[in-house]
Amino acid sequence: MDPKPLPYSELNGISKKTLEIHHDKLYVGYVKKVDELAGKFKDIIQRILADETDGNATYSDIRNLKAAETFAINGVYLHEWYFDVLGGAGNAAEAPELSKALIEKWGSIENTIKYVSVCAMAARGWSVLCWDAKAGRVKHYNSDAHDQGGVWGCIPLITLDCYEHAYFIDYGSDKKQYIEAFWKNLNWKVAEELYLKAKTLTL
């Protein structure tokens, strides 16, 4: 797996230093771990097929690997969705169809931003506005960790990293100011493209 390059070096209110550490070290570190785990899976699959190991739910090598797998791969995917949707000017007019869905659900774009921002303040890990393919509509979910809180069948549209590493260099403990900066840098055009693709999927 190759890490996706960051198409911008600095954002309005999110510094170059924060982005370098966040993307080049943390995110790239998750990509490396996914590759490392792939090698370990090759070995353990051979052992399982040769009847040299089993899958105990209290403790076993395969249990530990499967738990690490979802944490690492979600660490990659969530960060990619987060970085992909930044680099814009925060102009919701660039997302007419998504805006329509959000206005229908929460009354206005301003209400949407307010609601998701409060949810983000309450999240320890991620705040994700998504297309819920089971429900067939836009929904919002919080996640306290990469492998906790996510809902299967959901496609992220606007992904907000709420971990302290995303904002502490620039804002200290002022998470609210970071969230405000996130919206100012949101690339609504990318969110619109994701929405148009995702909403074709209803399960």
pLDDT at 181 over 90: yes
What pTM was computed for the model?
0.94
Output the pLDDT for position 104.
97
pLDDT at 53 over 90: no
Beta partners for residue 132, in sequence order? 137, 154
Q: Which amino acid is at 164?
A: E
CB-based burial label for 98 (10 Å; 0-12, 13-18, 19+):
buried
What percent of the chain stands above pLDDT 90? 87
Nearest to 184 by CA among 105, 101, 117: 117
In this prediction, residues 122-139 reach a mean pLDDT of 97
In this prediction, residues 169-191 reach a mean pLDDT of 98
Q: Which amino acid is at 30?
A: Y
Domain boundaries, the chain: 16-84, 92-198
Nearest to 162 by CA among 47, 22, 3: 22
Q: How far is CA 58 from CA 46, 63, 129, 143, in A?
A: 22, 8, 35, 25
- The helix or strand, by DSSP H or E, that contains position 155, with its residue range, turns out to be strand 154-161
Q: How far is CA 14 from CA 8, 83, 90, 136, 182, in A?
A: 11, 12, 14, 34, 8
Output the pLDDT for position 10.
87
Question: Which distant-in-sequence residues (6+ apart) come within 8 Å of 162 by Cβ?
Answer: 120, 123, 124, 125, 126, 127, 175
In this prediction, residues 144-168 reach a mean pLDDT of 95
For domain 92-198, the CATH class is: alpha beta
16-40, pLDDT tens digit by residue?
Answer: 999 999 999 999 999 999 999 999 9
Output the pLDDT for position 26.
97
The topology (CATH level 3) of 16-84 is: Helix Hairpins (1.10.287)
* Gap between the Cα atoms of 60 and 64, Å rounded: 6
